Amino acid sequence: MVKITRVFIGTGMCLMLLILSGCFSFLQDGLVMHPRQMQPVDAKISPRFAEYRVKNIAVMPLTPSSKTEKGEYTPQFATRPHDPIPMYLHMENDGETAANLIEKELLGTFTYKPVDRRKLDKVLKELEFQLSDLVDADTVQRVGKLTGADAVLTGNVKQAFKALQYQSYGDIVYAAYIGYVSLELRLTDVETGDIIWICNIQRNSLNYTKHDIVIAGPGDERNMDHIGGGEVMFVMRNAVSEALATLK
């Protein structure tokens, strides 16, 4: 008789599967996840940035990710049928979530002030703006002037999901989800229509740890806590903070 025990942490922070045969617990080395080196933030800022005197910034809703990553995993050498495990779990409303995080981060700089979200939403509604629309210089300038912004921040979420990392030994599967986020941001001056800052950043949960993470048995989910447990929100919040730190 094979017993399957599934342990879910929080709201899906970490998934671990441990399969026991009878009363005998058969454990291998488990799943070992290594730290991943961060690539530098790819940011370019206008050498004349200070001359634009940016203070008020309208943060447009970011274009959401395509969510094309799909697939399921089942143990390849299992001796009995197993329910498939989703390979990817996508963040819902990732464009809106990213915009909200950007606004909060701007507030914390004490240098920039985000335009009131209600005022911006009203203007976008009046302009009948849709996320599928092309955010060109003309649209940016109209939004900026109607909201009183000095600059408008636009962009898109390229990735915002949790991807399954796994190791299997027959009927024993160790698995955890790792968060991945990729953002493309740009800031446009309202008066001139000039793009004065562009930033691309890619991050994942393992960028934020200095030690190996081992998932080898019940309770090892605590090893994930200091990297956000694989949550996409944790990665996105840190990525936004790193990106805006280049906006000086």
- Per-residue pLDDT tens digits for 159-205: 999 999 988 888 888 888 999 999 999 999 999 999 999 999 999 99
User: Does the pLDDT of residue 10 top 50, yes or no?
Assistant: no
Are residues 87 and 164 in contact, defined by beta-carbon separation less than 8 angstroms?
A: yes
pLDDT at 80: 87
Average pLDDT, the chain: 83
pLDDT at 225: 65
Distance between CA atoms of residues 246 and 248, nearest Å: 6
Lowest mean pLDDT of 33-37, 73-77, 88-92, 193-197, name the range: 73-77
Of the candidates 162, 167, 125, 175, the one whose C-alpha atom is nearest the C-alpha of residue 146 is 125
Decide which of 76 and 71 is more confident: 71
Q: How many CB atoms lie within 10 A of CB 13?
A: 19
User: Does the pLDDT of residue 222 top 70, yes or no?
Assistant: no
pLDDT at 28: 56
Residue 19 burial by Cβ neighbours in a 10 Å radius (0-12, 13-18, 19+): buried
Are residues 87 and 71 in contact, defined by beta-carbon separation less than 8 angstroms?
A: yes
Question: Mean of the pLDDT values across residues 3-29?
Answer: 37
Q: How many helices (H) and strands (E) does the chain have?
A: 4, 13
User: Does the pLDDT of residue 15 top 70, yes or no?
Assistant: no
Strands 56-59, 113-114: pairing kind: parallel
Confidence grade of residue 131 (pLDDT, cut at 50, 70, 90): low
Confidence grade of residue 224 (pLDDT, cut at 50, 70, 90): low
Domain 30-164+176-244: homologous superfamily in CATH: ABC-type transport auxiliary lipoprotein component (3.40.50.10610)
Confidence grade of residue 57 (pLDDT, cut at 50, 70, 90): very high
Are residues 160 and 238 in contact, defined by beta-carbon separation less than 8 angstroms?
A: no
pLDDT at 219: 60
User: Does the pLDDT of residue 240 top 80, yes or no?
Assistant: yes
Decide which of 226 and 214 is more confident: 214
User: Does the pLDDT of residue 228 top 70, yes or no?
Assistant: no
